Amino acid sequence: MTAAPEVLVLAGIAGAGLSLLADLAIARWLPRLGGMPPFWARLTTAAVTALLFVLFAWRFGISPELPAFLLLAIMAAQLSRIDIALHLLPNPLVLGLLTAGLALFVASAALTSDWGGLLRAAAGGAVLFAGYLILGLISPAGIGMGDVKLAAPLGVYLGYLGWKQVFYGGLLGFVVGGLLTVLMLRLGRVNARKESPHGPPMFAAAIGTLLLLP
């Protein structure tokens, strides 16, 4: 279900506006993060969010599940910005993405009677969280607990579309993260394993899978 061009334009404008509101809300809700980000960071985050709104509107059209994916777009951009700047994935934001995403999928299931998709979403979140938790316990230097917690909401979104998405989205998260670490090492970042944020690669892999995998 592809959205009309005017819908895509409106989606981009809405994404940019909601991103700026999210900047303000996070700065007030979580002052420990340092207040409002710099202007260039807010502008970049708004542009990324606008692009993701357009891509999700193109992918899902005007559908009951679209609001859940627009929420993912906002939170992906915000959490990636924070992780890049502070090497931190705040628990309130990750938990908010998980609970609000599930609530929006419940609403979508109520409208479409797709209860199987809802159950698969919950199971996908549990499976991806468990997988990351095991790997985090085995290799705590490679995967932080913030990344483990982030796996739960990403698994929910991937699971909503199918188990194939859970598998590829989870696997590609490690691949993209590994490539980023190698790139930083090649650029001379000796402590790249500790310095490279893993949240953005996890989001990139999950969103890429949601958009491209049928």
When the pLDDT of each residue in the chain is averaged and rounded to a whole number, the result is 91
Query: What pLDDT score does 189 carry?
Result: 54
pTM for the model stands at 0.93
Tokens of 144: 């932080």
> 87: left (phi > 0), else alpha (psi -120 to 50), else beta?
left
Query: What pLDDT score does 136 carry?
Result: 86
Domain residue limits at 184? 5-212
What CA–CA distance (Å, rounded) separates 3 from 65?
A: 14
Tell me the residue type at 124. Answer: G
Q: How many domains does the chain have?
A: 1
Tell me the residue type at 162. Answer: G
Query: What pLDDT score does 24 carry?
Result: 96
User: With 0-12 CB in 10 A as exposed, 13-18 as middle and 19+ as buried, what is 138?
Assistant: exposed
Query: What pLDDT score does 187 carry?
Result: 64
Tell me the residue type at 43. Answer: L
Tell me the residue type at 51. Answer: L
